[in-house]
Amino acid sequence: MRVFVTGASGHLGSAVVPELLAAGHQVVGLARSDAAAATVEKRGAQARRGDLDDLDGLREASAASDGVVHLAYRHDLMTSGDGEGAVRTDLAALEAITEALAGTGKPLVSTSGTPMAAMAAPGRIATEQVVGESGPRIDAENLVIGGADRGVRSSVIRLPPTVHGELDQYGFVPGMIAVARQHGYAAYVGEGANRWPAVDTRDAARLYRLALESAPAGNRLHAVADEAVPLAEIAAAIGRGLDVPVRSIGPEEAAAHFGFLAPIVQLDNPSTATVTRALMGWQPQHPGLIEDLAQEHYFRH
């Protein structure tokens, strides 16, 4: 299968592209810069220059493929304070891709997050059946699922806030480690009883491949290995890794301490992957988050 992958040079792409190539697929990776193109080609894929704002280019590359995996997101806009711009860009890109695949029966595997389910059903365990009506990123998720009615074998993979492992350099865990280094202690908010799901990047990559190859149209899938890791435990693991104290801070201190990470650090997001495991035959094989945080790779720099 010739697969067009957006975000091929990023964290997820660093695992998804090799996973697809090892399974015998050809990969064409979207690259925003010469450096990104070099990274894509180093991974053994073909680079296609362009970005998520190039809607005609996205349509052309999607139409020329046998399937699309959408990993890219304008995190640079989100972290700079233009979250609405990131959401608009993602929605427009997915509409262009879906339009190009409409009526073909080809697969589109897109990316969302388990926090979307938590926001749609606060206080409940996030399952694949939890669906939000509308909102940031929820609209994109619903657009992709709706692609099933337009002749696209579409599916959405919801990722936990912690997609961890040696390939993870810019995610929420490295962000929390950087904050702990800056302040000289690892923190959690209140009792730290709020919970995050987690998955190793390599296990997530395998689910993307399985979804591309065989996910039925219109399904939401959860790439969840650890279902509910308390934030206090994550902070304690970071404290051990950095050899710094661990402290509770109040909600009023969270924004100043964690910056843009503050809302997600306080999110309670227990999640399951029961449906996904049964439907796709997917079983995580790699270490859980706390075990991974006991390794040195997160604390080398």
Exposure on the CB side of residue 287, measured as CA atoms within 13 A: 10
Rounded CA separation 85/213 (Å): 32
For residue range 179-213, what is the model confidence (pLDDT) as tens digits?
999 999 999 999 999 999 999 999 999 999 999 99
pLDDT at 301: 67
pLDDT at 85: 87
Per-residue pLDDT averaged across 252-273, rounded? 94
Q: What are phi and psi of 226, to 5 degrees?
A: -75, 130
Per-residue pLDDT averaged across 160-185, rounded? 94
pTM listed for this prediction: 0.95
Task: Identify whether the C-beta of residue 33 lies closer than 8 Å to the C-beta of residue 9.
Answer: no
Banded pLDDT at 219 (limits 50, 70, 90): very high
DSSP state of 271: B
For residue range 91-100, what is the model confidence (pLDDT) as tens digits?
999 999 999 9
CB atoms within 10 A of CB 105: 10
Banded pLDDT at 169 (limits 50, 70, 90): confident
Rounded CA separation 140/138 (Å): 5
Edge to edge, the sheet with strand 2-6 lists: 46-49, 26-31, 2-6, 67-70, 107-113, 153-159, 219-222
Which tokens go with 264? 């997600």
3 state DSSP class of 225 = coil
Mean pLDDT across the chain: 95
CATH of the domain spanning 165-198+227-299: 3.90.25
Q: What are the sequence ranges of the domains in the chain? A: 2-162+200-224, 165-198+227-299
Per-residue pLDDT averaged across 142-169, rounded? 96
pLDDT at 83: 81
**Amino acid letter, residue 220:** R
> Of 248, 234, 208, 247, which is closest to residue 292 (Cα–Cα)?
234
Distances (CA, A) of 106 to 2, 62, 78, 90, 231: 11, 10, 30, 20, 40
**Between 294 and 121, residue with greater pLDDT:** 294
Banded pLDDT at 171 (limits 50, 70, 90): confident
Banded pLDDT at 59 (limits 50, 70, 90): very high
Helix (H) or strand (E) holding 112: strand 107-113
Task: Identify whether the C-beta of residue 111 lies closer than 8 Å to the C-beta of residue 71.
Answer: yes
CA 129 to the chain's CA centroid: 18
Helix (H) or strand (E) holding 237: helix 231-242
Q: Which range (162-171, 209-218, 241-250) has the least confidence? A: 162-171
For residue range 65-76, what is the model confidence (pLDDT) as tens digits?
999 999 999 877
* CATH 1.10.150.120 at 2-162+200-224, yes or no: no
Rounded CA separation 192/197 (Å): 14
What angle, 0 to 180 degrees and rounded to 10, lies between the N-to-C axes of helices 172-183 and 251-258?
100
3 state DSSP class of 228 = strand
Per-residue pLDDT averaged across 54-60, rounded? 97
